[in-house]
Amino acid sequence: MTDAPAPLADPHLVYDPLVGDGPKDVVILGSTGSIGTQAIDLVLRNPGRFRVTALSANGGRVALLAEQARRLRVRKVAVAREDVVPALREALSAQYDAGEPLPEILAGPDAATQIAASDCHTVLNGITGSIGLAPTLAALEAGRTLALANKESLIVGGPLVKALAKPGQIIPVDSEHAALFQALAAGTRADVRRLVVTASGGPFRGRTREQLADVTVEDALAHPTWAMGPVITINSATLVNKGLEVIEAHLLYDIPFDRIEVVVHPQSYVHSMVEFTDGSTLAQATPPDMRGPIAIGLGWPERVPDAAPVFDWSKASTWEFFPLDNEAFPSVNLARHVGELAGTAPAVFNAANEECVEAFRAGVLPYLGIMETVTRVVEEHGTPATGTSLTVPDVLEAETWARRRARELTVRTASAEARA
């Protein structure tokens, strides 16, 4: 293991941009989403520790974005949708006192990328989906510490991210990878036998494949332990999210896929574990709440006091662990396969899944059709020719093809079901 490439995320290394004294300046991408709103809650409770200088959002919740901008007194606000700029300007004017200067507004598909490179210490990338790749690359190239909650940008652009990131520059924010990050601090890379990534099992834990045939969107959105956005929640129901996390763990820590295991832990108390060569296993555990991982991402190497809830150890509780049912949830093994293929294969997997999730939410594709369609798209894509010489145009071209092919197959599936 000692001759393996250096890991992207290493708790023993601290990357510290030279950006001045005082509170740590932070840019939050995806501020109106689940990660962003919890990050802002953390910042507002720690005003002497963090200061938010810019926010970005898609633009679907302009009133909330304007309120966040006013409460945080940010300098810049970015929205991906240019059509909402008038509504955002009006919402900001309603939040600010007369004569008080409003924050600068950036708009368009590149707006988040622009503020990711702005002056700050840390960029929290809480955007959902592979559209987070460009901001991730911009933050790294600008020399910012990257608190990474947007797993898709690492998965689809792994070699690109690894080529830019300096040692210690990326701090993972996913609860599983923040857990691995903390547990890995107890030993060296040579001490690690395997990584154990936990999964709640989602709303369909214990069901067979046959029992999943008729589940609804409402069923898939009823996650038993986590409150997340709809796309991530459905990815948790299919366990695609766990497959993506396996690829992410491989890229972050340079541990081979055959030494990364997934186990089902319904309580979601243990977020992941590291098994060491001497037989000991270190587990990181907190009640299910993303403010803890966010605090690690923003504060490391320091811990933020009272960032998240703690256990009441005076009360009895039971923690369970079960093997993963790969027949009912084939997404994890498919993710391992595309991760080993590398190149553009992970981008194809992720893009096809995003399209299929939207089709499922729209009632066009059945639940089991998500992974059936994604699997077919991956198979048709075949072995990527780009290998480790991946470029951004390669990723974009592969994603465009995968989305188009997934939509074509989705329409065929819907037509066949209508005729049945």
Please state the residue numbers annotated as binding site for Mn(2+): 174, 176, 245
**CA–CA separation, 171 and 185 (whole Å):** 13
At 254, the amino acid letter reads D
**Host H or E run for residue 85:** helix 85-95
Please state the residue numbers annotated as binding site: 32-35, 150-152, 174-176, 200, 223, 229, 236, 241-242, 245
**Which tokens belong to 121?**
């210490």
DSSP symbol at 146: E
Please state the residue numbers annotated as binding site for 1-deoxy-D-xylulose 5-phosphate: 151, 175-176, 200, 223, 236, 241-242, 245
**CA–CA separation, 21 and 19 (whole Å):** 7
What is the rounded (10 degree) CA torsion for 136, 139, 144, 145? -10
- Comparing C-alpha atoms, which of 51, 94, 96, 91 is closest to residue 74? 51
Helix (H, G, I), strand (E, B) or coil at 227: coil
Helix (H, G, I), strand (E, B) or coil at 122: strand
**CA–CA separation, 303 and 117 (whole Å):** 25
Provide the CB-side half-sphere exposure for 19 (13 A, CA).
Answer: 21
At 73, the amino acid letter reads R
**CA–CA separation, 173 and 23 (whole Å):** 20
Long-range pairs for 109-114: beta carbons < 8 A, 24 or more residues apart = 109/80, 110/134, 111/56, 111/78, 111/79, 111/80, 112/29, 112/56, 112/78, 112/80, 113/138, 114/78, 114/138
**CA–CA separation, 406 and 69 (whole Å):** 38
Please state the residue numbers annotated as binding site for NADPH: 32-35, 150, 152, 229
Beta strands in 290-355 (DSSP E): 322-323
Residue 145 and residue 123 in contact, taking contact as beta carbons nearer than 8 Å: yes
**CA–CA separation, 21 and 51 (whole Å):** 12
**CA–CA separation, 135 and 205 (whole Å):** 35
Provide the CB-side half-sphere exposure for 214 (13 A, CA).
Answer: 1
DSSP symbol at 13: -
**Which tokens belong to 239?**
């366990």
For tokens 């210490």, the residue is: 121
